[in-house]
Chain A
Amino acid sequence: DTAVSQTPKYLVTQMGNDKSIKCEQNLGHDTMYWYKQDSKKFLKIMFSYNNKELIINETVPNRFSPKSPDKAHLNLHINSLELGDSAVYFCASSLPVRGAEAFFGQGTRLTVV
C-alpha cells in the first residue's frame, strides 16, 4: 500500500492551461505539504496544511491554490500555467510532533510547453 500517493506522475501541458495534482495519504497524518523541486533539485516549501487548515503559504503566485477537502487529501490546482512552473512537485505528510519524519509522494513532473 502506497503511503502518500500523487496523481499524475507526469503532466505535460500547454501554457495558459489549468491543471490539478492530487495527493492522498493513508498514514493518518495531520500535516500535509506541497514542495516544489526546481531543475537544480532545490526543494522549496509552497504550502502546509494541518488538519485541513492552511498554516504555511510561502511566496507563491496566487495562480497556485491548494485545497484540502479532508485531512487525508491535499490537492494543488494551478491556473494559467507558465513555462517557469515546470518542475517536480512533491506532496508530503507528517505527524505534527517533534522528530516526526516527512513521508513523500513519488512526485509529479510538470512540463509546460
Chain B
Amino acid sequence: AQTVTQSQPEMSVQEAETVTLSCTYDTSESDYYLFWYKQPPSRQMILVIRQEAYKQQNATENRFSVNFQKAAKSFSLKISDSQLGDAAMYFCAYRSRYTGNQFYFGTGTSLTVIP
C-alpha cells in the first residue's frame, strides 16, 4: 500500500506571512494524483488543491501553491499571505489509480496562525 508521510505534526505562522507544509509519499506507480485537504475545527474536510503526477507544472489556487517533485516523491503546500481562517489541520492525500481508487492520507499537520 502507498504511504503518505507528513513530518510536521504542528506548524505556526504569523498572519500575512508564508508557510510551507511538507509531504512525502511512497509509490511504485507512475500515474496518480495528489491532494491537500484542510480540516478546520468544524471537522469538514475541504479540498485545497490537487496535482496530477504527469503534469510538471505546479498547481496553484489563489494563495495556495504546491511544490511537486516527482522524482523525490515530495509534495509540499505553500500558503502565502496567511490568514486567520487558514488555521486548521492539513492533510496530504494520494489517490491510487489501481487499488480501488482509494485515497491514502498522511497524518496531518496542525497549522496555527498567529495574529
Interface residues of A (CB under 8 A from B): 31, 33, 35, 40-45, 48, 50, 55-56, 88, 90, 92, 94, 96, 98-102, 104, 106-107, 109
Contact = CB atoms under 8 A, between A and B. Distances in A.
Given A41-B89, A101-B35, A101-B50, A90 B108 contact: no
Contacts of A98: 31, 33, 52, 97
Interface string B93-109: 10101011111110110
A99 B50 contact: yes
Contact of A106 (B44, B50, B108): B44
26 contacts: A33-B103, A41-B89, A41-B108, A42-B108, A44-B105, A45-B103, A48-B100, A50-B100, A50-B101, A56-B100, A92-B103, A94-B101, A94-B103, A98-B31, A98-B33, A98-B52, A99-B95, A100-B95, A101-B35, A102-B35, A102-B45, A104-B44, A104-B45, A106-B42, A106-B44, A109-B43
A58 to B, nearest CB: 9
A43 B105 contact: yes
Nearest to B99: A56
A106 B97 CA distance: 26
A8 to B, nearest CB: 13
A94 to B, nearest CB: 7
Nearest to B33: A99
Contacts of A88: 43
Nearest to B105: A43
Contacts of B108: 41-43
A42 B4 CA distance: 11
B91 interface: yes
B16 interface: no
A55 B93 CA distance: 19
Instruction: Specify which of A42, A43, A101, A106 lies most central, judged by the most chain B CB atoms within 10 Å of its CB.
Output: A43
A106 B107 contact: no
Contacts of A45: 102-104
A112 B104 CA distance: 27
A43 B47 contact: no
Nearest to B109: A41
